[in-house]
Amino acid sequence: MNREDELFLTRDFGLDHLHRLETYVSRGGYRAAAKALKTMTPDAVLEEVKAANLRGRGGAGFPAGIKWGFVPRGTDALRYLCVNADEGEPGTFKDRFLMSHNPHLLLEGAILASYAVGIRTAYVYIRGEYESIARRLETAVSEARASGWLGDHIAGTGFGLEVFVHRGAGAYICGEETALLESLEGKRGHPRLKPPFPASIGLFRCPTVINNVETLCHIPGIIRHGAEAFLKRGLPRDGGTRIFSVSGAVARPGCYELPTGSSLRELIYERAGGVRDGRKLKAVIPGGLSAPMLTENEIDVRMDGDSLVEAGSMLGSGAVIVIDDETPMTLVLEKITKFYAHESCGQCTPCRVGTAWMARIAARLRAGRRRNGDVDTLHRLASGIKGRTLCPMGDAAALPVLALVAKFRDELERSS
């Protein structure tokens, strides 16, 4: 087998019982952990991940190695790893795919991250609805403990790690990293004011690393095959593969793992089978609901962070939602605004009031009760939220509305 194929997270996903430790180990599982713990210093692991320039897969695309490097070193003060398995961004379903098929891959990634940063306790904050996956993860944790891949003295070394699975209670905002910390501490899931950043003051006021499930799943491959191999698969600055969750009006919705930088058009038309029922493509949301939508003539874009920013959107969580020509934009607008109004934590004024106001206008547009000036008001409200809120959720709520208003203004103004 081609060694580099091992860099594909989903390589073995066709196997039966991959979620069992024996199967995982038989496919080379925990070899990266053994290599790191026995032959590499924590710094060497950190340097390798830095060299791989692994960009976060949770939404913000921040390089994982740099984030780990922010945690103060040279002390043995308590610090934590939080695995963000909240997967709340509408359209995104890749983390559940990874965790249900291969929970040990995530655990191995967590071991490596913890070893590099000097962490001895990790929490997996998992979306509440993922009850069976949480159970599967818990089983994996017990298996790993029983065979010495978790607990004290992992692989006979001095390094130890405990992993706890914590289920959320169904709030999108708890996927935002600081709200996640609050929630994990047993408080309301309200995002914290930053700075301080979690790397200095995080969970229980200790330095904390927060990474997305998919981000951590890439670590074992990077350690086994090296940063260079990782960077070769994908783009030179944004390496590795990504799992794209494709949904909406496509013939074959699902998770597709492709090298970063693959073409969006190919993803939709070649992998996902094109637009369903012979309809035409009207718009695509390329990175989860928060990503500004692209129109049919904008989809010749590479699926990597920088290219999508250039195209006026973002890669976000890599969730691609395809909208066909029979879908009225008032419906899309209503869905988007209703979601954010429902999920705003309510702390800060622009997001709390602005999202609710936008949702009310959108509901009227959808119901055919448009008033003059509605579209301008939408634009004004979204502009008043963008860049002016405490956490990035404000932008998440404003950007898709701004894009929709800019690109489909005529259609909205024709609605009645």
Judged by CB under 6 A, the residue of 84, 102, 245, 389 near ligand FMN is 84
Using only the alpha carbons of the chain, give its radius of gyration: 21
Residue 118 contact among ligand SF4, ligand FMN, other proteins, none, beta carbon within 5 to 8 Å by kind: none
State which of positions 122-181 bind ligand SF4 (CB under 6 A). Answer: 173
Residue 60 contact among ligand FMN, other proteins, ligand SF4, none, beta carbon within 5 to 8 Å by kind: ligand FMN
Asked whether 312 and 283 are in contact (CB, 8 A), the reply is no
Asked if 382 is part of the footprint of ligand SF4 (rule: CB under 6 A), the reply reads: no
Asked if 391 is part of the footprint of ligand SF4 (rule: CB under 6 A), the reply reads: yes
Output the smallest distance, CB 172 to ligand FMN, in A.
6
Judged by CB under 6 A, the residue of 59, 118, 292, 318 near ligand FMN is 59
CA distances to 278, 281, 298 from 326, rounded to whole Å, are 11, 9, 19
**Among 14-22, 72-80, 386-394, 407-415, which window interacts with ligand FMN (CB under 6 A)?**
386-394
**Order of strands across the sheet that contains 241-248:** 254-259, 241-248, 319-324, 281-285, 294-295
Output the smallest distance, CB 173 to ligand SF4, in A.
5
Output the smallest distance, CB 11 to ligand SF4, in A.
37
Judged by CB under 6 A, the residue of 177, 182, 257, 304 near ligand FMN is 177
- 353 CB-near residues (< 8 Å, 6+ apart): none
- Residue closer to other proteins by CB (options 153, 188) is 188
Across-strand partners of 81? 122, 209
Asked if 211 is part of the footprint of ligand FMN (rule: CB under 6 A), the reply reads: yes
What tokens were used for 188?
Answer: 């309301």
Between strands 319-324 and 121-126, the pairing is unpaired
**Among 129-137, 196-204, 220-228, 383-391, which window interacts with ligand SF4 (CB under 6 A)?**
383-391
Residue 356 contact among ligand SF4, other proteins, ligand FMN, none, beta carbon within 5 to 8 Å by kind: other proteins
Residue 280 contact among other proteins, ligand FMN, ligand SF4, none, beta carbon within 5 to 8 Å by kind: none
CA distances to 202, 213, 346 from 21, rounded to whole Å, are 31, 18, 43
> Which residue minimizes CB distance to ligand SF4?
351
Across-strand partners of 246? 254, 320
Judged by CB under 6 A, the residue of 128, 160, 273, 346 near ligand SF4 is 346
Q: Would you call 285 helix, strand, or coil by DSSP?
A: strand
Asked if 182 is part of the footprint of ligand FMN (rule: CB under 6 A), the reply reads: no
- 202 CB-near residues (< 8 Å, 6+ apart): 79, 80, 82, 181, 208, 209, 210
Across-strand partners of 244? 256
Residue 31, burial from CB neighbour count under 10 angstroms (0-12, 13-18, 19+): middle
Q: What is the dihedral of CA 99, 100, 104, 107, to 10 degrees?
A: 30
What tokens were used for 3?
Answer: 């060694």
Residue 377 contact among ligand SF4, ligand FMN, other proteins, none, beta carbon within 5 to 8 Å by kind: other proteins
Left, alpha or beta for 293 (phi > 0: left; psi -120 to 50: alpha)? Answer: beta
- Positions that interact with other proteins (CB under 8 A): 171, 173, 188, 193, 341-350, 352-357, 360-361, 364, 371, 373, 377, 384, 387-390
Asked whether 296 and 283 are in contact (CB, 8 A), the reply is yes
Residue 88 contact among other proteins, ligand SF4, ligand FMN, none, beta carbon within 5 to 8 Å by kind: ligand FMN
| 108: Cα within 13 Å, side-chain hemisphere | 28
Binding site for ligand SF4 (CB under 6 A): 173, 191, 344-348, 351-352, 389-391, 393-394
Site of interaction with ligand FMN (CB under 6 A): 56-60, 62, 64, 84, 86-89, 172-173, 175-177, 210-212, 215, 391-393, 396
